[in-house]
Amino acid sequence: MKNLLFTFACTLFLILAGMGPVTAQDQENGEWIDLFNGENLDNWIIKFAGYPVGENFNNTFRVEDGMLTASYDEWDQWDSQFGHIFYDQPFSHYILRVEYRFVGDQVQGGPGWAFRNNGLMLHSQHPETMTLDQSFPVSIETQLLGGNGTDERTTLNTCTPGTNIVMDGELITQHCISSTSETYHGDQWVTVEIEMRGSEVVRHKIDGEVVFEYNSPQLDPEDVDAQHLMEVENIDPNNLLIEKGYISLQAESHPTQFRSIQVMVLE
């Protein structure tokens, strides 16, 4: 989504400076690369609604027992402080593999829909381009959802904050669409893979099975946050396809653990 020259310069700087684990050789080899090192939040950028970039509100994002955790043990009450943590390097064609689980109780006052709810915000805008009070980055969200122990609830659904997608040749403007996955109850670990091929195709997989597929992710010109991004990035309104962007994880009021976050860069 970012200006091509700016994105190239940022990526080149990161590679030459050695600031990130994703090197040119890694990309050529097509190997799994750890975005999370299991020790700290190096190479990750935090943004909470209502707070400046870099402020880790209530110490929410942290590393505990080698896991990247969205924790709420220092919160008293939820008040729409949606949070996201962004890996600091953009990607275009890649496979993202994540192991996650939900633990503990939702913070007091958290919205009902956010019970055992997190997400992978893909092809996302950079947090510096978000407005101060913006709740969600303009992105394509792969929802991570857990069951309540009784009812069915699919995971790897798709939601579209500031965006639209195409399915079967039809532009989809509905905000969230369910996948065909099974329900994952309790605190079990779930491993998912998201195949992102620029704006060509996106596939959500669990255990190698595709549970959701779409193409042509694009900015929604009717959305206020997308309009702001288009102005900031000087994006051509006649070319709204999203070819690349950042990866972020959510903090939406329910404690979540991530023990592995890996990417394989594709040709």
Name the residue ranges covered by the structural domains of the chain.
4-265
Evaluate if pTM is beyond 0.85. yes
Which pLDDT does position 22 carry in this prediction? 57
With a cut of 80, say whether residue 218 has pLDDT above it: yes
With a cut of 70, say whether residue 18 has pLDDT above it: no
What digits encode the pLDDT tens for the residues 132-175?
999 999 999 999 999 999 999 999 999 999 999 999 999 999 99
Q: Find the radius of gyration of the CA atoms of the chain.
A: 17
For tokens 């407005």, name the residue. Answer: 131
The SS3 call for residue 193 is strand
Instruction: Report residue 20's pLDDT band, with 50, 70 and 90 as the boundaries.
Output: low
Adjacency order of strands within the sheet including 140-145 = 44-48, 83-87, 246-251, 117-124, 140-145, 158-159, 176-177
Contact partners, residue 155, CB within 8 Å, separation at least 6: 143, 144, 145, 146, 179, 181, 183, 184, 190, 192, 206
Question: Nearest 5°: CA angle at 249, between 142 and 188?
Answer: 75
Instruction: Report residue 30's pLDDT band, with 50, 70 and 90 as the boundaries.
Output: confident
Mean pLDDT score, 90-103: 98
Instruction: Report residue 28's pLDDT band, with 50, 70 and 90 as the boundaries.
Output: low
Question: Nearest 5°: CA angle at 243, between 56 and 43?
Answer: 30
Q: How far is CA 233 from the centre of its chain?
A: 20
What digits encode the pLDDT tens for the residues 75-94?
999 999 999 999 999 999 99
In one letter, which amino acid is 219? L
CA distances from 151 to 113, 128, 182, 187 (A): 14, 39, 11, 15
Q: Distance (Å, rounded) from C-alpha 205 to C-alpha 226? A: 28
With a pLDDT cut of 70, the percent of the chain lying above it is 89
How many other C-beta atoms can be found within 10 angstroms of the C-beta atom of residue 117? 22
Which pLDDT does position 147 carry in this prediction? 97
Which pLDDT does position 23 carry in this prediction? 56
What is the pairing mode between strands 201-206 and 209-219?
A: antiparallel
The fourth-level CATH superfamily of domain 4-265 is Exo-inulinase; domain 1 (2.60.120.560)
Mean pLDDT of the chain: 92
Q: pLDDT higher for 45 or 13?
A: 45
Which pLDDT does position 43 carry in this prediction? 98
Q: Where are the alpha helices (DSSP H) in the chain?
A: 4-17, 24-29, 224-233
